[in-house]
Amino acid sequence: MEEEILRILATAAAGVLVRAMGTRLWTSTRDQWARLLGRSDTGRQTEFTEQLDASAAEVTQAGATPRVVDAVSERWRDSVRTELQNHPELVDAAQSLLDEEVPEPRSASGATQTARLVGGFSIQSGGNTTIGHP
């Protein structure tokens, strides 16, 4: 699997996870990703669920400061990338999860940035960016 594709998928997955933390979407998002990363092994799913909940507690208790959000995002990006590298059969399932509705971005400083994987490309936007036809 091409490293750049894995990096993009892992970055997008980490973004989805962190944006869902502390929202009404957290439980379902956490469960979907724990199930995927646990590869149908109940013990591994439980381990990922506990790790994700610990990360969510870290983000919400810190008030979602940019430093904490970035650190948690980086850890999950690395974790997801490692799982995808070691288990390439998970790539299609990860892509499917990312194609589902993405939670609203979390903003600690009033600035938001979103990333969406579309047709194998990462599209990012920040501030008041509009793309489309008038």
Predicted confidence (pLDDT) per residue in 20-74, tens digit: 998 999 999 999 999 999 998 999 999 999 999 999 999 998 787 889 999 999 9
Residue 89 lies in a domain: yes
pLDDT at 100: 80
Residue 88 per-residue DSSP state: G
Q: For the chain, what is the mean pLDDT?
A: 82
What residue numbers bound the domain in which 9 lies?
3-126
Residue 59 lies in a domain: yes
Residue 134 lies in a domain: no
pLDDT at 56: 95
- Exposed/middle/buried for 121, CB within 10 Å: 0-12, 13-18, 19+? exposed
Which secondary-structure segment (H or E) carries 35? helix 26-38
Distance CA 110, CA 88 (A): 37
pLDDT at 78: 97
What is the count of structural domains for the chain?
A: 1
Single-letter code of the amino acid located at 4: E
Distance CA 33, CA 59 (A): 18
